[in-house]
Amino acid sequence: MRARLLAAGAAAMALTSGAAFAADPAEGDWMIDDSARVHFAPCPAHADRLCGTLSWLKDPSDDAGHLSRDTKNPNPALRNRTILGMPFITDLKRVATGHWTGGKVYNSDNGMTYTAKMHTHDDGTLKFEGCVLVFCGARTWHRPETAALASHQH
């Protein structure tokens, strides 16, 4: 009897902890146009925040055929890291389900870092916004499956 109670208690704890830590709709893979894929997951150092890593690039190589490097990074120690696999969105804080703010986005094209926020839409898209001072730029991203379907319909 005691073993059954312990097993039932463990199962109940597993179910309730799973619900408490359910994935947010922003987690997973998102396509930036047809040129890159970002993977959002909890940040390694802060599980309550989201980070984004470049998980696929349409053209990951430089002119010499090597994986592109982060050569414009202001930190010389990071200039040899590859762009592919690089964490470039960090520390997004959850405001509500599907809504994240207070993060940073790094642009390897110019070595600059901007503030970032994002939110998911009911149509299955994600709006990502990066800002410097009062100037912001926003883009709408799609799930890889949705992006592939849309490109075949045109």
pTM: 0.78
Band of residue 119 on the pLDDT scale cut at 50, 70, 90: very high
Q: What is the DSSP string of 30-92?
A: EEETTTEEEEEEE-SS-TTEEEEEEEEESS-B-TTSSBPB-TT-SSGGGTTSBSTT-EEEEEE
| CA angle at 42 for the pair 39 and 10, rounded to the nearest 5° | 125
How many domains does the chain fold into? 1
| pLDDT classification of 148: cutoffs 50, 70, 90 | low
Task: Identify the CATH number of the domain in which residue 34 sits.
Answer: 2.40.128.520
Residue 22 binned pLDDT confidence (cut-offs 50, 70, 90): low
Residue 19 within any structural domain of the chain: no
Q: Residue 7 falls within a domain, yes or no?
A: no
